[in-house]
Homo-oligomer: A and B are copies of this chain.
Amino acid sequence: MSAKEAKAVRTRDEITPETLGLTHASLLEMYYCLRLARAVDERMWALQRSGKAAFVISGQGHEGAQVGAVYALDRDRDWLVPFYRSVAAVLLKGMPPAELFLIQLGRATDPSSGGRQMPGHYGHSRHKILSTSSPVATQVLHAVGIAYAAKVRGTGEVALTELGEGATSEGDFNEALNFAAVHRLAVIFLVENNGYAISVPVSKQMAVPTVSARAAGFGLPGVTADGSHVLHVYAAAREAVARARRGEGPTLLEVTVPRLTAHSSDDRQEKYRSADDIAHSKEIDPVRVFTEELRAWGVLTEERRREIEERVRREIDLGTEIAEAAPLPDPSTATRYVYAEPGP
């Protein structure tokens, strides 16, 4: 083993609940979030398969990255600028499952868009979650602008934005890194690298093995964390948030994650992914890995697991019920809010 490898292993060994100062309660909260996100996501697929929803785009496999990162934020004060896989992130940031199903089913009371956007386009001003669009990478600049505003206004807010590794090929991502570095803004670029942009493998997207390598050339730190291990992500994100809070500027935090589903319900991944690749993804599933880790650390008893499972199931069922009972939008509202309406 080379010295470098030894150091990497040591660093990873050092990431334990103890070294991070995480209580059992915190660990179980993270666990609950992972399970909840997975369950919400699975229900979204069920709704689609049963013909109730037109489309799903999934966060399965990305939960470790998102829970690890968002857990490091001040969830009341900081901003989340999400993307279409941000199921776990928006749940942890405060949106209840029912709201995600309202979005999924395009109901009038969908809090993100009133049924105007496709599933997966999250947003919620009260939770400081910026509205999501579909063009990839545009949101990265918005996060940077939010961080600039925070700096000028002295609010101490940090902005965390999420994107896929595919989106890092867009000009906007690079322009954002550059501007954030020049102004040392409190923004974290969370790149969830799942190895594919729909069908295009990373090897055809970029000539370097990691996205984080991009950071140095713009003058900000770049880190790659293993998204199968929630605490690895949490450790890296906590450091990035601390840096941002101290006014030392942005961090590019890449997290390697498995994509456990096809790109979306419109895709068939068997066409371009080998059976081995798909099988390997399942092995590094962060939910599975964290479950094992918590058991090994003696945090998760079988009883606790069942309790959480039960709670998640109830919440999902309740959320689905609420969403299914909610009305579809009335076409007479369709012309509203192209522009602000005059106040009362």
Contact = CB atoms under 8 A, between A and B. Distances in A.
A218 interface: yes
A169 interface: yes
A182 interface: yes
> Interface range on chain A: under 10, 10 to 19, 20 to 34, or 35 or more?
20 to 34
Interface string A182-223: 101000000000000000000011111000011111111010
Given A213-B217, A217-B215, A182 B170 contact: no
Contacts of A220: 207
A133 interface: no
Residue from A171, A182, A219 having most chain B Cβ neighbours under 10 A: A171
A213 B174 CA distance: 14
Contacts of A170: 171, 175
A178 interface: yes
> What's the dominant secondary structure at chain A's contact region?
helix
Nearest to A209: B219
A172 interface: yes
Contacts of A169: 175, 178
A169 B172 CA distance: 10
Shortest beta-carbon contacts, A-B, top 4: A171-B171, A207-B219, A181-B207, A174-B174
Interface of A: 169-172, 174-175, 178, 181-182, 184, 204-208, 213-220, 222
Given A171-B171, A206-B219, A217-B217, 12 more contacts: A169-B178, A170-B171, A171-B172, A171-B174, A171-B175, A174-B174, A178-B205, A182-B206, A182-B207, A206-B218, A214-B218, A217-B218
